[in-house]
Amino acid sequence: MTGIQIDTITAASRKRKVHIETWGCQMNIADSERMLALLEANNYELSRDGAETADLILLNTCHIREKARHKVLSRLGALNELKAKNPDLRIAVAGCVAQADGKKLIEQAPQIDVLIGPGKIDELPGLLRENMATGQSVVATGFDRHARDENDVGREAVSDDPVLHIPSVSGKPEVTRFVNIIQGCNNFCTFCVVPFTRGREISRAKDEILREVEYMVRNGAREITLLGQNVNSYGLDLMGRDDVPEDGGPFVDLLSSVAQLKGLERLRFTTSNPHDFTRPLARLFASQPKMGRHIHLPVQSGSNTVLDRMRRKVTVEQYLERINWLREEVPAIAISTDLIVGFPGETEEEFEDTLRLMSAVRFAFIFAFKYSSRRGTAAARFAGQISESVKVERLNRLNAIQDVITAEMVANEVGRTKDVLFIYESRKYPGIWVGRTKEYRSVRVNSSANLLGMTLPVRLTSGNKVAMLGELVN
């Protein structure tokens, strides 16, 4: 055997190490896991020692916060030092910043070897090979309009996906996992960059999703969250229609099928757009015991005039109708929402409409944000941008109201016994197990036993807006 042959065999048999950093939403976690699956099929494995010893560093970025590009550039600057020590190190940037900034990002950070948007992640192995062969930075952004467009409208798509065994990015079995079922959004709310960074709606084939969930459950998952920017529209692109059928359509059908899978204990989904929320979907919460007793239903504002400027396509009255459907089916269902304060032109009266809606609905928890303009969106060009000081003042008032509601809800829970699915053990405080109720409240319990993946009755003893404390019953 010659020296050249030995080198070749050594290089081919050694697995390359990938280090992945994921920012932003659960969809990015699911995308990172899919990229890891693709890389594992191409002789990579997760680095156990972080970025220092990696052959490939993958940054999966988020564009939702202000200064997103600045944050990515700052991390790339730090990674440049590693690249100086190891010229063979490859750096890939994925996610919404890659899609939004494209080649401009490479001009500012030429150390990027591969830049890949969320619509192109399946091309990652090929792009890495191209980069290694040419030494040139490679870019893949944009979205392929539905690959099945003409041929498959009107019938169920069949999976041709070779990578359905999706590992977790933590490198260990996880009790709760995320599965992307639909990419993109067709709605174009005036404040939102998603249709630009994630493209139009493209649903995955149902059998592909079922097999992916089956694999995760076989590997220890007990709770699955189906993900999309607008999960309620799942499958409409495959049917060639814009509105959800009266029977709840493909999304209700998908949830019903996933819930049949043996070993799965809890099924959740997010994000659900009130515009496409149907009564059959509300009924499923009552008829299907595996469904979590929580829904995240973003309303954004309690003012019809603001909702109109946001182009949300629902009124406050229609939103409240959906809340009634849910509470008629499951009176104790926990409802959370997103709220934006200081949207362009928001008057004091319009803001107070939002406070009134909060008091009427009594959300279990909220994610409240100050409006911040996003390049390329319609609202960025609206007149009447609100000053930072007014936004801060409104956000504080809104959070103060929610704190009171949450405190009352938490006090109401004390003394009750709830089934808690245990998700992980605290690293900092071994013996403290963290789990969630069906209503999505975080619960901490002290136990010397291994509770991971178990669903056990817990008596809630105290709590605050972050978590409740409890004791195992028996």
Beta bridge partners of 425: 433
Q: Cβ(358)–Cβ(366) under 8 Å?
A: yes
Interatomic CA distance for residues 193 and 430, integer angstroms: 41
Closest approach, Cβ 17 to ligand SF4, in A, equals 35
Closest approach, Cβ 271 to ligand SF4, in A, equals 7
Q: Which CB sits closer to ligand SF4, 264 or 357?
A: 357
Q: Which CB sits closer to ligand SF4, 346 or 439?
A: 346
Q: Cβ(281)–Cβ(248) under 8 Å?
A: yes
Closest approach, Cβ 423 to ligand SF4, in A, equals 27
Q: Which CB sits closer to ligand SF4, 168 or 225?
A: 225
Q: Cβ(436)–Cβ(410) under 8 Å?
A: no
Query: Which residues sit at the interface with ligand SF4, rule CB under 6 A?
Result: 185, 187-189, 192, 194-195, 229-230, 273
Q: Which CB sits closer to ligand SF4, 194 or 224?
A: 194
Closest approach, Cβ 118 to ligand SF4, in A, equals 13
Closest approach, Cβ 261 to ligand SF4, in A, equals 28
Q: 450 φ, ψ to 5°?
A: -85, 110
Q: Which CB sits closer to ligand SF4, 27 or 264?
A: 27
Beta bridge partners of 335: 295
Report how far apart, in Å, the C-alpha atoms of 272 and of each of 282, 312, 396, 467 are.
Answer: 12, 13, 26, 24
Beta bridge partners of 93: 59, 115
Q: Which CB sits closer to ligand SF4, 188 or 382?
A: 188
Query: Strand order in 365-370's β-sheet?
Result: 294-296, 334-341, 365-370
Sign of the dihedral through C-alpha 238, 244, 248, 254: positive
Report how far apart, in Å, the C-alpha atoms of 60 and of each of 32, 139, 202, 216 are.
Answer: 7, 15, 20, 22
Nearest to 113 by CA among 85, 141, 132, 86: 132
CA-based angle 136:142:148, to the nearest 5?
120
Closest approach, Cβ 228 to ligand SF4, in A, equals 9
Q: Which CB sits closer to ligand SF4, 194 or 405?
A: 194
Interatomic CA distance for residues 291 and 272, integer angstroms: 14
Closest approach, Cβ 235 to ligand SF4, in A, equals 17
Closest approach, Cβ 378 to ligand SF4, in A, equals 11
Q: Which CB sits closer to ligand SF4, 127 or 307?
A: 307
